Chain A
Amino acid sequence: MITTTFDLYNLMERDNVLLAFKGTVTSDLLDSVFQIMESKMVDLNDSPATKKKVFNVLVECLQNLYHHIDDFDKDNFLDASGSKKSAIFSISRNEDAYNIVTGNFIYPKNVEEVSKKIDHINSLDRDELKAYYKEVLNNGKLSEKGGGGLGLIDIAKKSRNKLQYSFKEIDDDYSFFTLTVKILK
């Protein structure tokens, strides 16, 4: 089956996609995306609290992509075109919730660590999650790029939902990681 642009359009229409992107995630791109989403949300009939929450979670999700996407060590980079550095994300909104979905390539060797981290976050209730956030905030250090290991914890805490994720094995060198965050309105 060939997927046409029209199929893609219908898919995005069905899922009420507000914004979708596939490509390299740069700081400038994020500036534009945040700006677009903020002005889009102005026109939507959601409470200020919901808009703020969605924006907060969106910033964390997309900056998470930005921080981790070039974890690929440059020397061993197998994919000359650099396409493994590109990612996908979408933001959709239906009657009762917003959904933020991100997808990016990761090394298979990191799959277990990421799974464990998310499973741990998902196993915590709200008070435990708050305590865990405080613990990592107080003890963790920022990486060179400014990530602090708090992103996923914050996303779970603010979205007040379990994180949904999956990995798709691509080949010996890459897996594809998908994260879906649901924020109830």
Chain B
Amino acid sequence: MEDLKQEGSAKTPVVEFNASGELLLKGRSIPENSIEFYKPLIEWIESYSETPNSSTVLNVQLEYFNTSSSKCILDVFKKLESVTGSEVSVKWYYEEDDEDMLEAGEDYEAIIDLPFEMIEVEEI
């Protein structure tokens, strides 16, 4: 299984999905249409779920995301929720003054049946 790596841009985040089970989304996610951007990520998780590592951690370190992305991020979580044979968890990072980002993490935590850890950092 190959790793999935994408560089970030002004509107899209850095993606580092490692077959070792360490997954990272970092930066900003504000494309007008995020379906196209998130499709390969969701497909990657689908293949990964065939032979997952014993532990899978998704690190979400987003500075901004728009509402178009919020649906796709939910789909990423839902895909991870369906991975069996691996302890899947989410680390949700937010900057110390960013109440909205913490709230967004809590919203996902309420919808998705995965353990979330909220991690406050000075800067993402």
Contact = CB atoms under 8 A, between A and B. Distances in A.
Contacts of B95: 48, 52
B11 A31 contact: yes
Contacts of A60: 66-67
Contacts of B72: 142
Chain A: interface size category: 35 or more
Interface centre among A30, A56, A67, A157 (most CB of B within 10 A): A56
Contact of B64 (A56, A133, A142): A56
B74 interface: yes
A137 B64 contact: no
B66 to A, nearest CB: 5
Contact of A137 (B31, B70, B98): B70
Interface of A: 27, 30-31, 34-35, 47-49, 52-53, 55-56, 59-60, 63, 66-67, 130, 133-134, 137-138, 140-142, 145-148, 150-151, 153-154, 157-158
Given A47-B97, A48-B95, 11 more contacts: A30-B32, A52-B98, A52-B100, A56-B64, A130-B107, A133-B107, A142-B34, A142-B35, A146-B31, A146-B35, A148-B71
